[in-house]
Amino acid sequence: MTDTRYSTMDLADCESFYRETVVPAMENHGLDPNTETPTYAWLNGQFPGFVKHLQRQFDLSPGQFYDEIGVPEVESSTGPFDFLSDNTRQAIEDYLDELETRRGRAAATIETRRSILRRYAKAYTNIHYTKDLLAPLEDPDERVAEMDRVATTFDALDQLDDALTTLASRRKYVQDTRQFYKHLVMFGDAEYNPLADLEIRFGWDETPSWDNKALDRTAVQRLYTAATDPRDRFIVVACCGWGLRPSEVASLHIRQLNLDPDDDSHPYIEFADGERKNGPGTVALLAGLETVNKRIETLSDQDWNGYLLPSPAANTGHLTAETVRRRFKSVAEVADVTVDGARPTPKTGRRFWYTTYGAAVRRVAERFEGVAAEQGSASAQVVLDNYLSESEARSHRRAEMRETLAGLFDA
């Protein structure tokens, strides 16, 4: 379909086009239109004119369009690995159970690993037309052929998965998948690990640049201004102003928020045990309070389940982390913001928070250099560590950070 024909579509026509043309294309690429929607990258790659028409004619990102027409319509009632053979599904579930019960990994870590293994297994089965990932691992003579099958699977993932955008993310994806195979070898369910040296085959074995560039203050302001939808504005604040992960943003619930603490401390988010993969159990809300208060006020007028990003179509009751990533990237498209030539992601926004916080901590330390000299201390950090209580030091850091973020998320 040409751009000229797209231009004649009203919203009902767009919905028909999605159901009659996009849905069959999704099925051909192994996507399930009943339980998932295409990523921005996939839809734009397949139907760029359609994406442009949604933006120009209706001011809708793909994610907003999906919400508008109510897709996906149902959530899958099956388990995440029910598309696999019984023995493969059981092997994956046993591995995840081992991580949780014996290795004590956080619930967020388990969910991340489950998501990665599901995407990997889905791609593998679609490409190689088999539901059994274990059979080739029982025969050492299959080693070379299976390594090729795995490499082909990662070729597809590298093209289709939005999570594989940097060298560091690719290596992490390989490492997490390799751990599952390592578990199989360890317990005698596999003769070899087909992901051995996969990074070398793909040229991903060089040292990744973990210190990737972050958004700057001007870019964050442009994102916030471009986010005219209240949900998108909340996502920008949560990622850039609070440093949350997409999964934490998607599942944030009103019960986790303390916006009026009794002890006159800063408002904060409190995560229960297992809800956060790394980092502190509380996050101070030093910016964006007006945005979150407006969000709560709007949702309180509805039949609300308490999630800040509710989704009546999802079994969880809230949007997915993938939807948060998609909406963030759509805002970046509208704002025309890039980082190193690419559209920023929530991870880039989280990196802005950590970069800004690190600078604030250094400024606090610099203010105590005079005290350090008077005390004969080697550095201001010694003063902060030895002469201030943890609560006093934290108060100084938060005050500096609050001042740095002031005005960033003004309406």
- What is the distance between the alpha carbons of residues 233 and 68, in angstroms, rounded to a whole number? 18
* Cα 255 from chain centroid (whole Å): 22
- Residues 6 or more apart whose Cβ sits within 8 Å of residue 54: 14, 60, 61, 62, 65
State pLDDT tens for residues 65-110. Answer: 887 787 875 544 457 788 889 999 999 999 999 988 887 777 777 8
Amino acid letter at 225? Answer: T
Assign 3-class secondary structure to 47-108.
CHHHHHHHHHHHCCCHHHHHHHHCCCCCCCCCCCCCCCCHHHHHHHHHHHHHHHHCCCCCHH
Q: Do β-strands 282-284 and 268-270 pair in parallel, antiparallel, or remain unpaired?
A: antiparallel
DSSP annotation of 279: S
Compute the mean pLDDT over every residue in the chain, rounded to the nearest whole number: 81
13-22, 117-126, 152-161, 215-224: segment of lowest average pLDDT: 152-161
* Backbone dihedral region for residue 279 (phi beyond 0: left; psi -120 to 50: alpha; all else: beta): left
Task: Single out the residue of 153, 268, 143 nearest to residue 196, CA to CA.
Answer: 143
State the average pLDDT over residues 5-33. Answer: 83
Phi, psi angles (nearest 5°) of residue 154: -70, -25
How large is the average pLDDT for residues 117-126? 86
The one-letter amino acid code at 247 reads S
- With contact defined as beta carbons under 8 Å apart, do 95 and 85 qualify? no
Query: pLDDT-based confidence at 378, cuts 50/70/90?
Result: very low
pLDDT at residue 77 in the model = 45
pLDDT value, residue 210: 47
Contact 150, 198 (CB under 8 A): yes
CA-nearest of 321, 335, 307 to 228 is 335
Q: What is the pLDDT of residue 371?
A: 54
C-alpha distances (whole Å) from 6 to each of 15, 41, 46, 330, 365 are: 12, 19, 14, 20, 58
363-365-367-370 Cα dihedral, nearest 10 degrees = -150
Amino acid at 237: V
Phi and psi angles of residue 111, each rounded to the nearest 5 degrees, phi first = -65, -40
Q: Residue 263 to residues 18, 157, 258, 284, 320: CA-CA distances in angstroms? A: 52, 49, 11, 14, 34
Structure tokens at 96: 């995840």
| Choice among 39-43, 164-168, 171-175, 193-197 with the minimum mean pLDDT | 164-168
C-alpha–C-alpha distance, residues 145 and 127, integer Å = 14
% the chain with pLDDT above 90: 28
Using 50, 70 and 90 to split pLDDT, how confident is the model at 411? low
pLDDT at 42 over 70: yes
Pick the closest to residue 95 from 185, 198, 218 (CA basis): 185
Confidence of residue 379 (pLDDT cuts 50, 70, 90): very low
Q: Quick check: 337 pLDDT over 70?
A: yes
pLDDT score, position 226: 93
Q: Is the dihedral of CA 269, 273, 276, 278 positive or negative?
A: positive
pLDDT of res. 262: 74
Q: Determine whether 186 is exposed, middle or buried from the number of CB atoms within 10 Å of its CB (0-12, 13-18, 19+).
A: exposed
399 vs 35: which has the higher pLDDT:
399
Mean pLDDT of 276-280: 57
Which residues are 318's β-sheet partners?
A: 310
Q: Residue 272 pLDDT > 60, yes or no?
A: yes
pLDDT of residue 393: 67
- 383: enclosing H helix or E strand: helix 380-386
Model confidence band, residue 115 (pLDDT cutoffs 50, 70, 90):
confident
Stretch among 29-43, 154-168, 300-314, 395-409 having the lowest mean pLDDT: 154-168
pLDDT at 368: 64
**Residue 364 pLDDT:** 74
Identify the pLDDT of residue 91: 94
pLDDT tier, 132 (very low <50, low <70, confident <90, very high otherwise):
very high
Q: What is the DSSP letter of 38?
A: -
